[in-house]
Amino acid sequence: MGSRIRDNVNHLFECFCEVVKPQADEKEAWIIQKFPDVYKDEEVLKSVPKFAYPCDFDNSVIQHYSFVLTSVDSKWTFGFCRHDPKSATAVVLLSFLPWHETFYKLLNSISDLIHNAQIDLLSPFLNKVYTSKVPDPGMSFQVPLNNNTNSIFVCQAPKQFQLPSIPENRNLTEYYNAVDCDNMIRIFASMLYERRIVFTSKRLYRLSACVQAANAIIYPMNWQHIFIPVLPTHLVDYLLAPMPYLIGVPNTLLDKVRKADVGDVVILDADNNTVESPFDDLGSLPQDIVKQLKSQLKNRASLLGDGVSRAFLRALVHLIGGYRDALNVNQGEKITFNSEAFVESRPSNMQPFLRKILELQIFQQFIDERLAMLNEGRGFSDEFELEAWNYCDKNSSKLKAQYKEWTYTMKKEGTAFFKSVKTRANPAVKSAVKTVKERGKDVGKAYKGIRSKLRDLGDEKGKQRAHVATAPSTSFRKDILNKQRRSAAPDMSQSQAPYSALTPTSPDHGENSALQFSPLNMDLMGDLQDVLFNKCSLLETPGQTPNKMVRSSI
């Protein structure tokens, strides 16, 4: 199913609505005004009043909450709602962006403008926000609230891939304050097993915050099933669905549902910090990982900032970070994932859980996403991969050198590096080809070493590789480096002919070359490591810290 977040968003928000609450003689809420007028998605507009006033609820304080609308292509539209007990209306913003803090702040400014009876300031302000460019991750966004330039709305776009932090992320902060660490871990385990899960509370802001935070801390995976942070009355039958779901149900609505009709379901009461479950999901996880997760979450001094999110991320690194050892990397073919190798490469106490997670959509989405990025030449460098580098056990080293170079190149060269060569070379060698071109002074010696390596392979016809990837050849690298020390490479910047990818018909082979090429299954990146990256090793340079690409929080 893939990511639920849309790419290439053109507007900060898609639609603004002001919704009148149900009156004594009216059964349903209704939209009194919207912006822009050109927004014509009638199905969405019909749903907004029902989510703005989902049921009878405590409206004694100002509260913000979010809801989610799922399109036919399984993409999410986020609804951000603000209720004020002194107002007969609710204000709602619809957006493709999961920027909760940004939109809650924007709703506060909109509410102030609505209640300013002097002049109409709302329409000009909404138009300026709507037509402004969506800010890049981590950048500020500024729009004048009125013609007086001294009054400006300012917010900052979340950084890409940034882990939710306390107290900056109100969803995670509310979840952590309402639910203790043991129950957070129990819900985490139930989500990994894709159970039918219900959160309940009498406060809408707490309900939606806990549901959104629970989904955020299973990163880099993402919930792939029914996801409704606040369930309105007209969708109550969703609780009877036989497939997995994660639904926030106001307690006034849950009280009207017979639990016998719902069946086996995990229920978290966020007001009373209790969990009811017919499953022992926590007991089914590898207990050494559970013990380590509990230990990290009990160290309260380290939980400010992204401490809570990072504790769950490290648990997932221990559970699924071994996927890298199960990547099939063959020259001329797409990189694929070997599920059996993934299980067998891990300790025996983890294998039952891993065989189960192979069947789940949240894991399949994760693998499909990683393979797509590798095969398209985009690469990746997120908090999950950086944590995976820090965790390296005895059974998880086969692709370490090669993987280090993939992610290093992404940090150093950028996405454009891969795009420029992705149509000319296999993803496993495109970095080598490009870098050899840019480092012309080493290309002669590197190429001779490759030819020598290929001749050695030619003498071993019929032998098959036993593993999906091999470790770099230490002796091969030493030979190249010794040659480099004995003679300086010639300056090829003026005399070198236009460079092309290495092929069996390349001029360097000679017209009468008898060398025959056969399909390769070798670690070119590992063999060229010292030549291509001898001065820019990411992990071996003392004091060097990689530039982290961070995640947009939900």
Q: Cα separation of 483 and 399, whole Å? A: 27
Question: Which tens digits make up the pLDDT trace of 254-291?
Answer: 999 988 899 999 999 999 999 999 999 999 999 999 99
Q: Cα separation of 452 and 139, whole Å? A: 50
Question: Of the ranges 6-20, 379-393, 405-419, 512-526, which is most confident?
Answer: 6-20
Q: Does pLDDT of 197 surpass 80?
A: yes
Give me the residue spans of the domains in the chain: 32-135, 170-302
Question: Which two structure tokens, joined as six digits, stand for 530?
Answer: 């010292």
Q: Does pLDDT of 547 surpass 60?
A: no
Helix (H, G, I), strand (E, B) or coil at 155: strand
User: Which whole number is the average pLDDT over 39-58?
Assistant: 93
Q: Cα separation of 55 and 78, whole Å? A: 19
> What pLDDT, on the 0 to 100 scale, is given for residue 500?
32
Q: Cα separation of 62 and 83, whole Å? A: 6
Which residue matches tokens 């603004």?
16
CB atoms within 10 A of CB 267: 17
Could you say which DSSP state residue 279 is in?
S
* Helix ranges, 470-553 (H): 474-486, 524-527, 529-532
> What pLDDT, on the 0 to 100 scale, is given for residue 312?
96
In 3D space, the residue among 143, 39, 134, 18 whose CA is nearest the CA of residue 82 turns out to be 18
Query: Concatenated DSSP letters for 290-316?
Result: HHHHHHHHH-GGG-TBTHHHHHHHHHH
Query: Concatenated DSSP letters for 322-349?
Result: GGGGGEE--TTS--EE-HHHHHHTS-GG
Q: Does pLDDT of 400 surpass 80?
A: no
Please, what CATH class does the domain formed by 32-135 belong to?
Answer: alpha beta
Question: Which tens digits make up the pLDDT trace of 456-491?
Answer: 444 544 444 434 333 333 343 344 444 444 444 444
Q: Percentage of the chain surpassing pLDDT 70? A: 68
Question: Which tens digits make up the pLDDT trace of 53-69?
Answer: 999 888 889 999 999 99
Top-confidence residue, 172 or 159: 172
* Confidence label for 375 from pLDDT (cuts 50, 70 and 90): confident
Kindly list the distances between the CA atom of residue 407 and the CA atoms of 7, 294, 425, in Å, as whole numbers in the listed order: 22, 31, 18
Q: Work out the widest C-alpha separation in the chain, in whole angstroms.
A: 93
Q: Does pLDDT of 161 surpass 90?
A: no
| Identical fold between 32-135 and 170-302 | no
Domain boundaries 170-302, corresponding CATH code: 3.40.50.11500
The values of phi and psi at residue 252, to 5°, are: -65, -30
* Confidence label for 119 from pLDDT (cuts 50, 70 and 90): low
Top-confidence residue, 529 or 25: 25
**Burial class of residue 351 (count of CB atoms within 10 Å of its CB; 0-12, 13-18, 19+):** middle
